[in-house]
């Protein structure tokens, strides 16, 4: 039998081309019971906990076609479909990319208090050096104690 020399079949190349492609922005449809939400916690399997922008926390189920292709992380913005028979549960329909979230914010669909996690797209981790380390706190406390206790006073 011949060895597989390639890096995958035609489905892999097809999946790669879909990532960079711009897609149409989907707004919520209130008639169908859709709402925007932010992922709070991944519970495992197809379940996650999300904070809906109508003010409720809901248990959400990731639909099958999304679960195999789209990876969800904490603080992602998703579109969910509310269930008519269970108010505390919903189904995840779509995940928004960071540029789509910005577009939704400018359109007024999302509240301004929404913070979006851009570490995946930007690739930069925001580190602040020299802010509140243990060594700095010890130096500050020793300087302050040195000012208060003069050698002449003893």
Q: What does the pLDDT look like over 96-112, one tens digit per residue?
A: 998 889 889 888 888 87
Average pLDDT value for residue range 11-34 = 71
Average pLDDT value for residue range 61-75 = 84
CA dist 69 and 36 (Å) reads 20
**Residue 22, both tokens:** 């711009």
Q: What is the DSSP letter of 144?
A: H
| Residues 122 and 116: beta-carbon distance below 8 Å | no
Judged against a pLDDT cut of 70, whether residue 75 lies above it is answered with yes
Judged against a pLDDT cut of 50, whether residue 87 lies above it is answered with yes
> Which of 94, 86, 119 is CA-nearest to residue 36?
94
Could you identify the residue written with the tokens 């359109």? 107
Strand pairing partners for 81? Answer: 34, 91
Range of lowest pLDDT (1-5, 22-26, 32-36, 118-122): 118-122
């Amino acid at each position: 039998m011949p060895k597989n020399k390639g890096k995958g079949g035609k489905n892999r190349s097809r999946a790669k081309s879909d990532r960079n492609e711009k897609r149409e922005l989907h707004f919520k449809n209130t008639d169908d019971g859709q709402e925007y939400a932010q992922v709070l916690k991944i519970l495992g399997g197809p379940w996650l906990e999300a904070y809906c922008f109508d003010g409720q926390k809901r248990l959400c189920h990731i639909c099958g076609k999304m679960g195999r292709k789209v990876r969800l992380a904490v603080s992602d913005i998703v579109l969910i479909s509310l269930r008519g028979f269970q108010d505390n549960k919903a189904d995840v329909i779509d995940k928004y990319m960071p540029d789509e979230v910005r577009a939704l914010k400018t359109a007024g669909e999302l509240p301004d208090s929404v913070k979006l996690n851009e570490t995946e797209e930007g690739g930069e981790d925001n580190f602040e050096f020299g802010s509140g380390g243990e060594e700095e706190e010890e130096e500050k406390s020793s300087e302050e104690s040195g000012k208060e206790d003069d050698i002449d006073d003893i």
